[in-house]
Amino acid sequence: MSPTSRPRPQRTIGRPVAVSGRGYWSGTVVEVTLLPAPADTGLVFVRGDLVPPVTIPARLASRVDAVQRTVLAHGAAEVQMVEHVLSALAALGVDNCRVVTDAAELPGLDGSSAGFVAAIDAVGVVDAGAAECRPLVIDETVRVEAGGSWIEAGPARFAGLSIDYELDYGPGPIGRQRLDVDITPAAYRTELAAARTFLTMEEAQRLQAAGLGRDVSLHDLVVFGADGPVDNPLRWPDECVRHKVLDAVGDLALAGRPLVAHVRGYRSGHRLNAALVEALLAADDRRHRALA
């Protein structure tokens, strides 16, 4: 049996744990509770503030297009900015979890996934029964591109997900950055989890002019002016590309199964990441129909 197909049990978290904070775009204070879930539940969001509560699977079919964040919906019910908690759950190997929220937008915290990682680590990750995890193993390279940006997934270099990402903002304080990392729980905790959301000053001003993020300060995320980050020092010189990889891990979790693949990307964002998931699921469906 190849190392990329070695079975393992499905996993969930050890007990309930709560995380609270303010949503970036809405300014609403929200509490999120992560709950253990049985095998084959997957990662799901629950709008506990609605009557009756609405469950929204963290799957590509639930995704709706949005600016600079990942949004999922079921009917009229939405959950916004889900990529950070999905990234933490996927990277730490949690296959099944109910994420119950009392508002439409998840908390932005400090712009990273570190708060969610701390919560998961506080309760631990445990087996969710005897059912085996069914990873999506990529055997052939699949690529999507748009407007000079691209992202592709090919055969894995180890029994899991690895990402090689290049960010390119051209001349300026962000510039060009590249990171190549195996997404193991240990590497995620030390190399990615604390990397924060970043914007240029122009992007921040445009969002606030549209009525979004009016309660967000320069200390809640990293805003770049002409000379670099404004009133908020970087945690790594290449923190921006680290956050892009963090986001990609969360977006790729919309496949609904752990990816065993090596992913390469250039200037990819939420939309293109989702397009790759769509292409991978379509390729996997074609492969299974050909074998039937």
**Between the CA of residue 226 and those of 67, 172, 174, 175, what are the distances in Å?**
23, 7, 10, 11
What's the farthest any 2 CA atoms get from each other in the chain? 59
270 is catalytic: yes
| DSSP string for 240-290 | HHHHHHHHHHHHHGGGSS-EEEEEEEES--HHHHHHHHHHHHHHHHHHHHH
Structure tokens at 71: 């949004």
The Cα–Cα gap between 88 and 247 comes to 10
Place of tokens 């000079």: 148
Q: Which amino acid is at 283?
A: A
The Cα–Cα gap between 260 and 4 comes to 7
| DSSP string for 66-90 | -SSS-EEEETTEEEE--HHHHHHHH
Q: Which of 84, 243, 262, 270 is catalytic?
A: 270
Please work out, in degrees rounded to the nearest 5, the angle formed at the alpha carbon of residue 255 by the alpha carbons of 102 and 23: 25
Query: In the chain, count of helices (H) and strands (E)?
Result: 6, 19
Residues serving a catalytic function are 270
